[in-house]
Amino acid sequence: MIYDALIGPFTEFEFMRRALAAVIALALAGAPIGVFLMLRRMSLVGDAMAHAILPGAAVGFLLSGLNLFAMTAGGLIAGFAVAILAGVVARSTGLKEDASLATFYLASLALGVTIVSIKGTNIDLLHVLFGNILAMDDQTLLVVAFNATVTLLVLAVIYRPLVIESVDPLFLRTVSRAGGPAHLAFLALVVINLVNGFQALGTLLAVGLMILPAGIARFWSRDLTVMICIAVVAAAVSGYAGLVLSFQTRVPSGPAIILVASVLYIVSVLFGRVGGIVRQLFPGRHLEA
Amino acid sequence: MAAVHFHNVTLGYDRHPAVHHLNGEVASGALVAVIGPNGAGKSTLLRGIVGILKPLDGSIHLGGLDSRDIAYLPQSAEIDRSFPISVFDFVATGLWRATGLFGGIGKPAREKILHTIAAVGLNGFENRPIGTLSGGQMQRVLFARVLLQDARLIVLDEPFNAIDSKTTADLLALVKHWHGEGRTVLAALHDMEMVRNHFAETLVLARGPVAWGPTAEVLTPENLLVAMRMCEAFDDSAAACAADDARSRAA
């Protein structure tokens, strides 16, 4: 019975195995990005970027239908354009990055919705918004895995400047010029991972598998490395449980995965070791030092 | 030989000068206090020296020094203390020039970092997240990083703000030690007594130079009054700077 519910879907159906492989790849790459988004106080920037890539994906969809390659390419172009434009405007004018990004993503979102509404149907719109794990084929899975690999490699390269820029940006600027390129590369990684989440989660929720695991991790550790590991595990568990939930109840996979992550988040808020509510209400006796 | 040479330098933001028309030089190995009221342009000047801020006009030359030879201690308010990083890792960033993006931190480097942390009196604090430190302890951490950078020019932005007398004395001893080693040190300060007692040279700043020279001659009530009265004008409709007109007429 438990086997049928939890493991059966994956042994029985190939698309479920592909979906599981995809969410684990998303977890491995997206969760570390989410941790940095959160620590750099850019959680909502990720959300804004998710909207910003819509017109690119919509143009890809108009040109070649529900083809993830075209939609990914379009999304990447739109996302990079918005990320780089917003980054350049923020760095060259003194406007805060969030304000700059808000302008660009709103324009981009309006354009995207317009494009989808001109040609698409309601079903298409649902697919774009919420993803469709059933449509995951081998090629799509390879794209997801490739993007995840690129993400981890680039993150390894920019890790040090990214950390130093987050803590002490002025110091980094005195010792290195790596801060600016690292920040832009990081924004590019955000876009790649958002587009990566399209198929499984849809445009609206793609950012969820980045931000929620990061939020969960914050309640369990004060150490960056441990935080990243917890976020990856939380994302992978949410992905797996979400897929099972989606399979058993027929709700779309994207919302199912994010709902599971939300439950984990609520549990963390309540019982987390670092700043959890229960811990604050019942802290125990104070320590010697 | 001059370590820092200002040539009619103007530094500011968006055409509004925070410091304008500064000329002069800091001798190699000098220990210079930069004083002036809030808004006098002290931090801006230091940012110009370390290369974070490009001059609006004029130039700053660092005699033979490149960015590797400069250590900068920003005001602690600029640092995100909520970021989960340990004292050890934070201090280790001082080795950036040796390690870069990928360079490992081997056993000798680890020992050097531990030694540096001990040297600022933070033995046993290596694994503490910086968010759990007091203001004075954080300032010691920042000094440890400067120490590790082993730079010839050291630029300190209000390094003794809001810290107790014991910490101040310890860190001031470090500053004097650097001076004794022949390093050039510039520090933005507010404590006149400290400047009088420990800094041989002083620049009184009030959006432009008020006086610059031996502390005993420069730190006069008259100069301080001039600095206090300085105009903190930030006027969007201000005309272009008249000093430049006068200069071009003279030329």
Lookup: tokens for A234: 């939380």
- State how far the Cα of A169 lies from the Cα of A179, in Å rounded to an integer: 8
Instruction: At A17, list the tokens.
Output: 């195995």
Structure tokens at A274: 């670092």
Q: Cα distance from B50 to chain A (closest Cα, Å)? A: 6
| Confidence category of residue B93, pLDDT binned at 50, 70, 90 | very high
Q: Is residue A283 within 8 angstroms of chain B, CB to CB?
A: no
**Complex prediction ipTM:** 0.84
Who has greater pLDDT, A132 or B3?
B3
How many Å separate Cα B26 from the centre of its chain? Answer: 13
Chain B CB contacts of A158 below 8 Å: 101
Q: How far apart are CA B131 and CA A143, in angstroms?
A: 40
Q: Tell which residue, B180, B109, B120, B163, has the closest CA to residue B145.
A: B120
Choose the closest CB to B84 out of A94, A169, A227: A227
Chain B residues near residue A229 by CB distance under 8 angstroms: none
Please count the CA atoms within 13 angstroms of the CA of A254 that sit on its side-chain side: 24
**How many distinct helices (H) and strands (E) make up chain A?**
15, 0
State the Cα–Cα distance between residues B72 and B157, nearest whole angstrom. 8
pLDDT at res. A105: 80
Interchain CB distance below 8 Å, A94 and B14: yes
C-alpha to C-alpha distances, A280 to A262, A272, A275, nearest whole angstrom: 21, 10, 6
Give the per-residue pLDDT at B198.
94
- From A157, which residue of chain B is nearest by alpha-carbon distance? B101
Q: Please name every residue paired with B155 in a beta bridge, in sequence order, or none if there are none.
A: B72, B186
Which pLDDT value is given to residue A134? 66
Are residues A224 and B52, on separate chains, in Cβ contact within 8 Å?
Answer: no
Percent of chain A with pLDDT over 70: 95
Q: Residue A136: its pLDDT value, please?
A: 77
How many Å lie between the alpha carbon of B49 and the closest alpha carbon of chain A?
A: 10
CB pairs under 8 A between A and B: 65
Tokens standing for residue B234:
């930030």
Q: Which amino acid is at B188?
A: A
A222/B14 CB distance under 8 A: no
Burial class (CB in 10 A: 0-12, 13-18, 19+), B24: middle
pLDDT in tens, B18-73: 888 899 999 999 999 999 988 889 999 999 999 889 999 899 998 878 877 899 99
Helix A43-52 / helix A14-39 crossing angle, nearest 10 deg? 130
Contact (CB<8Å) A94/B13:
yes
Residue B242 has pLDDT above 70, yes or no: no
Interface contact B129-A175, CB threshold 8 A: no
Q: What is the pLDDT of residue A125?
A: 67
> With an 8 Å Cβ cutoff, are A221 and B84 in contact?
yes
Q: By C-alpha distance, which of A159, A185, A189 is closest to A172?
A: A159
What radius of gyration do chain B's Cα atoms show? 19
Please give the C-alpha separations between residue A223 and each of A113, B151, B213, in angstroms, as whole numbers. Answer: 41, 30, 48
pLDDT at A184 over 80: yes
CA distance B32 to B38: 18
Which residue of B13, B74, B129 is in closest CB contact with A171?
B74
Residue in A64, A53, A55, A68 with CA at minimum distance from that of residue A22: A68
Q: Which of the residue ranges A15-24, A248-257, A280-289 would you say has the lowest mean pLDDT?
A: A280-289
Per-position DSSP letters for A224-251, written without gaps between them: HHHHHHHHHHHHHHHHHHHHHHHHHH--
Pseudo-torsion of CA A154, A155, A161, A167, nearest 10°?
160
Query: Are A154 and B101 within 8 A, CB to CB?
Result: no
d(CA A116, CA A113): 5
Q: Which pLDDT value is given to residue B246?
A: 57
Q: What is the pLDDT of residues A123-169, one digit of tens each?
A: 666 776 777 776 778 888 888 899 999 999 999 999 999 999 999 98
The sign of the CA dihedral B42, B43, B45, B49 is: positive
Are B32 and B218 contacting, i.e. CB atoms less than 8 angstroms apart?
no
Cα distance between the two ends of chain A: 51
d(CA B49, CA B41): 12
Categorize the per-residue pLDDT at A282 as very low, low, confident or very high, splitting at 50, 70 and 90.
confident
Beta strands in A110-218 (DSSP E): none
- Which whole number is the average pLDDT over A95-118? 80
Confidence of residue A112 (pLDDT cuts 50, 70, 90): confident
pLDDT at B248 > cutoff 80: no
pLDDT grade for A206, boundaries at 50, 70 and 90: confident
At B231, the pLDDT band (50, 70, 90 cuts) reads low
Q: What is the pLDDT of residues B163-209, one digit of tens each?
A: 899 999 999 999 999 999 999 999 999 999 999 999 999 999 988 88
| Contact predicate A203/A51, CB 8 Å | yes
Exposure of A181 in the CB half-sphere (CA atoms within 13 A)? 8
What is the tens place of the pLDDT at every residue in B131-170? 999 989 999 999 999 999 999 999 999 999 888 999 999 9
Residue B76: pLDDT above 90? no
Average pLDDT over residues A65-79: 76
For residues B223 and B195, give the distance between their C-alpha atoms in angstroms, rounded to a whole number: 15
Q: Return d(Cα A64, Cα B42) in angstroms, integer.
A: 59
Please tell me the predicted confidence (pLDDT) of residue A55: 82
Pairing of strands B2-13, B57-62: antiparallel
Average pLDDT, chain A: 86
Claim: this prediction has a pTM higher than 0.90: no
